[in-house]
Chains A and B, each alone.
Chain A
Amino acid sequence: MVPLSYYLILSAILFACGVAGFLIKRNIITIFMSIELMLNAVNLTFVAFAAELRLLSGHVFVFFVMVVAAAEAAVGLAIIISVFRTRETLNVDRINLLKL
C-alpha cells in the first residue's frame, strides 16, 4: 500500500504548482486552471486521509468541492467570455479598469 506521506507530498507539489501558476501566469484561462489544480490538490489530500482513516466524511467533502468547482467553472468561464467580448484580451494585467 502506498504510504500516506506520498499522497500528501504529491498533493503539496500539485498545490505549489497551482499557486505558482496563479502568481506567474497572465492568461486568465491559465490562472483559472491553476485554481482548479489547487482545488484538486486539496481533494487529493481529502481522499488520502479518508482512505487512511477509513472515514466517509473525506469523500463527502470531495464531492462538495467538486460541485463547487463545477459551479465556479461555469460562472467563471461565463465571466471570462464576457470579459473577452468587451476587452478582447485575456491578459489580467490589462483588465485593470477598477484599479486606482
Chain B
Amino acid sequence: MSLHLWIIPLLPLTGAAINGLLGKRFPKALVNAIALGSTAAAFAYALWVAMQFAGLPADQIPHIEHYATWMTAGTFSAEYGIYLDQLSLVMLLIVTGVGFLIHIYSVGYMEHEGGYYRYFAYLNIFMFFMLTLILANNYLLMFVGWEGVGLASYLLIGFWFLKDSAANAGKKAFITNRVGDFGFLIALFLLIKHFGTLQYDAVFKALAAYPVEASAGLLTAIGLLIMVGASGKSAQIPLYVWLPDAMEGPTPVSALIHAATMVTAGVYMVARSNPVFNRAPIALEVVAIIGTLTAIFAASIGMLQTDIKKVLAYSTISQLGFMFMGCGVAAYGAGIFHLMTHAFFKALLFLSAGAIIHGLGGEQDMRHMGGLRKYMPYTFWCMTVATFAIAGFPPLAAFFSKDEILWKDWSTGHHVLWLIGIIAAGMTSFYIFRLWFLTFFGEYRGAPAESSGRGHDGHDAHSHGVPHESPMIMIIPLMILAVLTFVGGWVGIPAALGGADHFDHFLEPVFHSTVEAAPGAETVAAPAESPSEHEDTGTELLLMAISVAAAAIGLFGAWFLYYKRTDLPARMAQAAGGLYTFVLEKYRVDEFYGAAIIRPIVLASTNILWKGIDVTLIDGAVNESAAGAQDVSEGLRHMQSGNIRSYAGWVAFGAAVVIAFMVWKGVR
C-alpha cells in the first residue's frame, strides 16, 4: 500500500513556485491563500498519514516508498524515496504543524513589510526542503534537504538584505554550515566506500554485522563526522556562532527555522544514525560531551544578553545541547522528546518575543521594556506558560523531556554530565525568568512615541506611543502553541510519576531493533535496568526534585535581581568586573575565531592564493603566453613586407631548400 507521501513535500514546493515566480503581482490575500493553503494541506495530509500509520502492521514499519532512481554510478545508486517510521512521523508532524502555525503568525507579523510574497515563497521552500530532509530514505536525499534548508535559512536571515548586518549574518550562517557539511559529506563518502549504498535500510542492515567498536575505528569516524555535520546545523560547539547572528532575520523565521525545526535537523540525523552510534561508543560519548558543554556554555552567555532575541538564541543553542546530551547517552527517545517539546515552547517564546517586538515597533532591547503585562495580556500569559515550561516546572512540557534526559544521563552513569546539566537547567531558569521579569514587570522603560522610529528588526515605525497588543492572527497561534506547551509533555510522563512514557515506547522500534541485532551494544545503549526497581524510582524522583529545585532557585534569583532589587545587577556586574565583561562579550569566541581562523585564512588567501597563485602564476602564465605570442608575431611581421620581390625571394629560397633537400635525399 502506498501512502503517496511525495505529496507532502510537493505541496509547499508548489506554493513556493507559484508565490516565488508570480507572487509579485498578487494581492496579499492571494499570497496568503497560496502559502497558508499549501502548508495547511501538507499538515492535514500529514495528520491523515499519521492515522494510516497507526493502522500499519508492525512488519510494514518502516514504511518505505520508492519512486525513481535519481542517479547511478557504477554499483552505487541513489533514488527518490521516502522512509516513514515513528521517528520521521514525529518530525513530520512537528514540522508541518509548527510550520503551519508560524505561517499564520507571519501573516500578522509581516503585514507592514516589503517583499511579502518573497517571504512566503522562502518560507514554503524551507518547508519543502525540511520535509525532504526528514522523509528521505537515503542519506544523499537527506543531504539535499540538508543543504536546501541551509539555503532557505540563508535567504531568510538575509531577508532584509539592504541591512549590512543581516546580509553578513546570512553569509556567516551559510559559511559556518559549510564547515559542518564538509564533515557530513565525508561521512557519506565513508558510507559509500564501505557499504556501497546510502539507503537507510541497506546501511542499517549492513551495520548489523558490525560489532561494537572497542576503540576508534570506521564507525567511530563516521559517527564523529556525522556529529561535525550535526554541530554545524544544530549550532553546537564549536560551530554554534552563526545562530545568535541569525536573529537578524524576521522573528517568525527565528521561531520556525532557528528554533523549532531546522536547527533540530542535527539531532534528527544523530537519532536517525543511531545504528552507527550504538556501535561507536566513543563517538557517542563525544556527542554527549559536546551537547553538555554547549548546554552550559550557551546558557551562561544567555544569562547576560540584553537583546530579547539573543537570549532566546542562546537558549536555543543550550536546549539543543540538552538534546544531544540525551542522544549521547543513547537515549535518542529522550532527545527526540525534548526536540518536540522544545519545538513547542521555543516557537512560543520566539513568537511571543515577536509579538512584543511588533507591539513596541521594533524594540528588541530588554532594558527598554518592562511593565508590558498590562499592555499585552495575551502575550503575557502565553509567554508565561512557555517561561515556566522551559524552566522545567511540572506539569509543563519541558519538565518531562528535560528530566528524562537528565535521568538517562544519571542512570547510564554519566554523573558529571548530569551535574553540569542540572547547573545548565538552573541557568536556563534564571535567564528565562530574567527575560520574563525584565519585559513584563516593573515600569515601562521605553521612551514613548519616538522610540518606535528605530526600525529594529526591519519594522518601520507605525507610529504608536504606547505598546499595543498584537492582532488576533498573531495571538491565536500563540494560544495554540501555549496549549501544546502545556500538554505536550504528557505523552511522555515517566513511569516514576505513574505515567506510561508512551512517547518513548512509540519510538522504541526505531532505536532498539538495531541494538538487539548486535548484543554487544547493550552495554552502551540500554538504560540501566537494575533489579532494584524501587530504588531506581526513588532516585529518579529525587533527581526530579533536584531539577525542580534548580529551576526554583533560578526563578528566585531572577526575581530577586530583576524585580525586587533592580539596583543589584549593575553593582554585581561592577564587582565581577572583567569576568562580567568577558561573559557579556560571549566569551569573545567570535573574536577568537576571527583571529585564529578567519584572519589567517583571509591573509593566506590574499597573499598566497590571490597575489601569489592567482596573480603571479595563473594570470602570469596567461599574460606571458600572450606576450610571447606577440613577440613571435613581432618578429614574423617583418616577413610580410608588402614588397613583391622579397616574397619572390622567399619563394626562391624555399624552392632552393626543397631542391637541396631532394638532392641530398637522392645522394643518400
Give chain B's interface residues, CB within 8 Å of chain A. Answer: 642-645, 648-649, 652
Q: Identify A99's interface contact among B643, B648, B652, CB under 8 A.
A: B643
12 A-B pairs, CB-CB below 8 angstroms? Answer: A19-B648, A19-B652, A23-B645, A23-B648, A23-B649, A23-B652, A92-B644, A92-B645, A96-B642, A99-B642, A99-B643, A100-B642
| Bound-complex Cα distance A94 to B318 (A) | 94
Main secondary structure of the interface of A (DSSP, over half): loop
Contact with B along A21-60 (1 / 0, CB 8 A): 0110000000000000000000000000000000000000
* Smallest CB separation, A56 vs chain B (Å): 27
Interface residues of A in 45-100 (CB under 8 A from B): 92, 96, 98-100
Extra inter-chain contacts (6) besides given A22-B648, A92-B644, CB under 8 Å:
A19-B648, A19-B652, A23-B645, A23-B648, A92-B645, A99-B643
By a CB distance below 8 angstroms, the chain B residues around A96 are 642
| Bound-complex Cα distance A98 to B649 (A) | 20
| Bound-complex Cα distance A98 to B643 (A) | 10
By a CB distance below 8 angstroms, the chain A residues around B649 are 23
Nearest A residue to B651, CB-CB: A19
| Bound-complex Cα distance A23 to B649 (A) | 6
By a CB distance below 8 angstroms, the chain B residues around A98 are 642
Main secondary structure of the interface of B (DSSP, over half): helix
* Smallest CB separation, B639 vs chain A (Å): 13
By a CB distance below 8 angstroms, the chain B residues around A23 are 645, 648-649, 652
| Bound-complex Cα distance A22 to B648 (A) | 8
| Bound-complex Cα distance A23 to B650 (A) | 10
By a CB distance below 8 angstroms, the chain B residues around A22 are 645, 648
By a CB distance below 8 angstroms, the chain B residues around A92 are 644-645
| Bound-complex Cα distance A38 to B649 (A) | 14
By a CB distance below 8 angstroms, the chain B residues around A19 are 648, 652
By a CB distance below 8 angstroms, the chain B residues around A100 are 642
* Smallest CB separation, A76 vs chain B (Å): 14
| Bound-complex Cα distance A42 to B624 (A) | 50
| Bound-complex Cα distance A73 to B369 (A) | 109
| Bound-complex Cα distance A100 to B644 (A) | 13
By a CB distance below 8 angstroms, the chain A residues around B644 are 92
* Smallest CB separation, A12 vs chain B (Å): 10
| Bound-complex Cα distance A33 to B563 (A) | 120
* Smallest CB separation, A91 vs chain B (Å): 12
| Bound-complex Cα distance A99 to B647 (A) | 13
By a CB distance below 8 angstroms, the chain A residues around B652 are 19, 23
| Bound-complex Cα distance A22 to B644 (A) | 10
* Smallest CB separation, A67 vs chain B (Å): 24
Nearest A residue to B641, CB-CB: A99
By a CB distance below 8 angstroms, the chain A residues around B643 are 99
By a CB distance below 8 angstroms, the chain A residues around B645 are 22-23, 92
| Bound-complex Cα distance A23 to B319 (A) | 96
| Bound-complex Cα distance A48 to B643 (A) | 35
* Smallest CB separation, A58 vs chain B (Å): 21
By a CB distance below 8 angstroms, the chain A residues around B642 are 96, 98-100
| Bound-complex Cα distance A99 to B646 (A) | 13
| Bound-complex Cα distance A98 to B644 (A) | 11
* Smallest CB separation, B655 vs chain A (Å): 9
Nearest B residue to A20, CB-CB: B652
| Bound-complex Cα distance A96 to B644 (A) | 10
| Bound-complex Cα distance A23 to B484 (A) | 105
| Bound-complex Cα distance A96 to B645 (A) | 12
* Smallest CB separation, B658 vs chain A (Å): 14
Nearest A residue to B645, CB-CB: A23
* Smallest CB separation, B153 vs chain A (Å): 64
| Bound-complex Cα distance A96 to B641 (A) | 11
Nearest A residue to B656, CB-CB: A19
| Bound-complex Cα distance A27 to B644 (A) | 13
| Bound-complex Cα distance A32 to B383 (A) | 109
Nearest B residue to A93, CB-CB: B643
| Bound-complex Cα distance A92 to B648 (A) | 14
Which 8 residue pairs are nearest across A and B when measured between Cβ atoms? A99-B642, A19-B652, A23-B649, A23-B645, A100-B642, A22-B648, A23-B648, A23-B652
